[in-house]
Chains A and B, each alone.
Chain A
Amino acid sequence: MKKLSFLLLSIILTPALLPGQNSDGDDDPKRSTLDFSTGYFNYASIDALFSGNIYSGGAPFISVGYQKQKRTPTQTIFRLAYINRYPHSLNLHETVVPATSNLRLINHMHFEVDDFYFFPVPGLSRNNLTVSIMLNWFSSIDLTMNNRMMPEQLLSTIAPGFMMDFNHSRHHIQARVSTALISYTCRSNYSNTLPQDYEKLSIGRFIRINSRLQLPNSLQTIFSEINYKYSFSDKIGGVVYYNFRYLHNAKPRTLAAVSGTYGFGIYFKY
Chain B
Amino acid sequence: MRTKYYLQILIWTTILAGCEQILLEEEFQNTPRDNFNALWQEFDHAYGAMHAKKLNWDSLKIVHGNTLANSATNKQLFDAMSGLLNEINDGHSDLTAPGVGYFRSWHRRDKSYYDDNYTQNLGKVGQHHSIIRKDYLNQQYQYISVDGWFFFYGTIERSNQKIGYLCIPTFYLGNFPDQFIQEAVESFQTMDAVIVDLRYNGGGTTEAFVKTLNLFASQPKVFLKSKFRNGPGHNDFSEFFDHRINPNPNCLQNMPVVILVNSFTASSSEHFVLGMKTQEKVITVGDTTCGAFSSVNERILPNGWKYRLGGQVLYTPDGNLLMDENGQYLEGIGLAPDYYIPDQWSSLEKGVDMPLERALIVVKDSLPF
Do the beta carbons of A260 and B17 come within 8 Å of each other?
Answer: yes
Answer yes or no: A256 CB below 8 A from chain B CBs. Answer: yes
What's the least CB distance linking A29 to chain B, in Å?
A: 35
Q: A190-B311, A193-B228 are in contact. Are A88 and B304 (CB under 8 A)?
A: no
Do the beta carbons of A54 and B214 come within 8 Å of each other?
Answer: no
Cβ-neighbour of A96 out of B17, B228, B306 (below 8 A): B306
Q: A190-B228, A190-B229 are in contact. Are A42 and B48 (CB under 8 A)?
A: no
Interface hit among A45-53, A127-135, A155-163, A174-182? A45-53
Chain A residues 50-69 with CB under 8 Å of chain B are: 51-54, 56, 58
Do the beta carbons of B24 and A45 come within 8 Å of each other?
Answer: yes
Answer yes or no: B327 CB below 8 A from chain A CBs. Answer: no
Do the beta carbons of B24 and A193 come within 8 Å of each other?
Answer: no
Q: Which residues of B contact A51 (CB under 8 A)?
A: 299-300
Interface string of A176-206 (1 = CB under 8 A from B): 0000000000000111110010111100000
> What is the interface residue range for chain B against chain A?
35 or more
Q: A89-B302, A93-B98, A260-B17 are in contact. Are A191 and B24 (CB under 8 A)?
A: no
Q: A191-B311, A199-B210 are in contact. Are A92 and B230 (CB under 8 A)?
A: no
Which B-chain residue is minimally distant from A252 (CB atoms)?
B230
What's the least CB distance linking A188 to chain B, in Å?
A: 10
Do the beta carbons of B304 and A199 come within 8 Å of each other?
Answer: no
Q: Which residues of B contact A260 (CB under 8 A)?
A: 17-20
Answer yes or no: A11 CB below 8 A from chain B CBs. Answer: no
Instruction: Give the interface SS of chain A, mostly helix, strand, loop or mixed.
Output: loop
Do the beta carbons of B26 and A53 come within 8 Å of each other?
Answer: yes
When chains A and B are docked, how far (Å) is the Cα of A135 from the Cα of B217?
56
When chains A and B are docked, how far (Å) is the Cα of A221 from the Cα of B147?
46
Q: Which residues of A contact B306 (CB under 8 A)?
A: 96-97, 103
Do the beta carbons of B30 and A89 come within 8 Å of each other?
Answer: yes
Do the beta carbons of A52 and B311 come within 8 Å of each other?
Answer: no
When chains A and B are docked, how far (Å) is the Cα of A92 from the Cα of B28?
16
Q: A90-B304, A258-B20 are in contact. Are A200 and B207 (CB under 8 A)?
A: yes
Answer yes or no: B295 CB below 8 A from chain A CBs. Answer: yes
Do the beta carbons of A258 and B304 come within 8 Å of each other?
Answer: no
Do the beta carbons of B21 and A258 come within 8 Å of each other?
Answer: yes
Interface string of A125-164 (1 = CB under 8 A from B): 0000000000000000000000000000000000000000
Do the beta carbons of B24 and A199 come within 8 Å of each other?
Answer: no
Do the beta carbons of A42 and B300 come within 8 Å of each other?
Answer: no
What's the least CB distance linking B369 to chain A, in Å?
A: 27
Do the beta carbons of A52 and B28 come within 8 Å of each other?
Answer: yes
Which B-chain residue is minimally distant from A245 (CB atoms)?
B20
Which A-chain residue is minimally distant from B303 (CB atoms)?
A91
What's the least CB distance linking B31 to chain A, in Å?
A: 12
Chain B residues 277-301 with CB under 8 Å of chain A are: 295, 297-300
When chains A and B are docked, how far (Å) is the Cα of A242 from the Cα of B228?
42
Q: A89-B30, A192-B311 are in contact. Are A44 and B24 (CB under 8 A)?
A: yes
Do the beta carbons of A46 and B24 come within 8 Å of each other?
Answer: yes
Interface string of A238-258 (1 = CB under 8 A from B): 000010101000001100101
Q: Which residues of A contact B45 (CB under 8 A)?
A: 253
Answer yes or no: A259 CB below 8 A from chain B CBs. Answer: yes
Do the beta carbons of B38 and A189 come within 8 Å of each other?
Answer: no
Q: A52-B38, A54-B24, A258-B24 are in contact. Are A193 and B295 (CB under 8 A)?
A: yes
Which A-chain residue is minimally distant from B239 (CB atoms)?
A209
When chains A and B are docked, how far (Å) is the Cα of A134 from the Cα of B309?
46
Q: Which residues of A contact B344 (CB under 8 A)?
A: none
Do the beta carbons of A53 and B21 come within 8 Å of each other?
Answer: no
Chain B residues 304-352 with CB under 8 Å of chain A are: 304-306, 311-312
Chain A residues 66-96 with CB under 8 Å of chain B are: 87-93, 95-96
Do the beta carbons of B214 and A198 come within 8 Å of each other?
Answer: yes
Answer yes or no: A117 CB below 8 A from chain B CBs. Answer: no
Answer yes or no: B211 CB below 8 A from chain A CBs. Answer: yes
When chains A and B are docked, how far (Å) is the Cα of A97 from the Cα of B306?
8
Do the beta carbons of B98 and A95 come within 8 Å of each other?
Answer: yes
Chain A residues 87-134 with CB under 8 Å of chain B are: 87-93, 95-97, 103
Do the beta carbons of B304 and A96 come within 8 Å of each other?
Answer: yes
Which B-chain residue is minimally distant from A196 (CB atoms)?
B206
Answer yes or no: B126 CB below 8 A from chain A CBs. Answer: no
Query: Which of A58, A199, A244 has the largest number of chain B CB atoms within 10 A?
Result: A199
Do the beta carbons of A193 and B300 come within 8 Å of each other?
Answer: no
When chains A and B are docked, how far (Å) is the Cα of A89 from the Cα of B300?
11
Answer yes or no: A36 CB below 8 A from chain B CBs. Answer: no
Do the beta carbons of A191 and B300 come within 8 Å of each other?
Answer: no
Do the beta carbons of B228 and A89 come within 8 Å of each other?
Answer: no
Chain B residues 18-37 with CB under 8 Å of chain A are: 18-21, 23-24, 26-28, 30
When chains A and B are docked, how far (Å) is the Cα of A253 from the Cα of B302?
19
Cβ-neighbour of A56 out of B13, B21, B48, B246 (below 8 A): B21
Do the beta carbons of A54 and B206 come within 8 Å of each other?
Answer: no
Q: Which residues of B contact A96 (CB under 8 A)?
A: 96, 98, 304-306
Q: 12 A-B contacts, Cβ less than 8 Å apart?
A: A52-B26, A52-B42, A88-B26, A92-B300, A96-B306, A193-B311, A196-B206, A198-B214, A199-B207, A200-B207, A242-B13, A256-B24
Residues in B lying within 8 Å of A, measured CB to CB: 13, 17-21, 23-24, 26-28, 30, 38, 42, 45-46, 48, 96, 98-99, 206-207, 210-211, 214, 228-231, 236, 238, 244, 246, 295, 297-300, 302-306, 311-312
Residues in A lying within 8 Å of B, measured CB to CB: 40, 42, 44-46, 51-54, 56, 58, 87-93, 95-97, 103, 189-193, 196, 198-201, 242, 244, 246, 252-253, 256, 258-260, 262
Question: Closest 6 interchain pairs by CB?
Answer: A191-B311, A44-B21, A93-B98, A191-B228, A260-B20, A190-B230
Q: Please name 6 further chain A to chain B contacts, defined as beta carbons within 8 Å, in addition to the given A53-B300, A198-B244, A259-B20, sorted by A numbering.
A: A46-B24, A46-B26, A92-B300, A191-B228, A191-B295, A260-B17
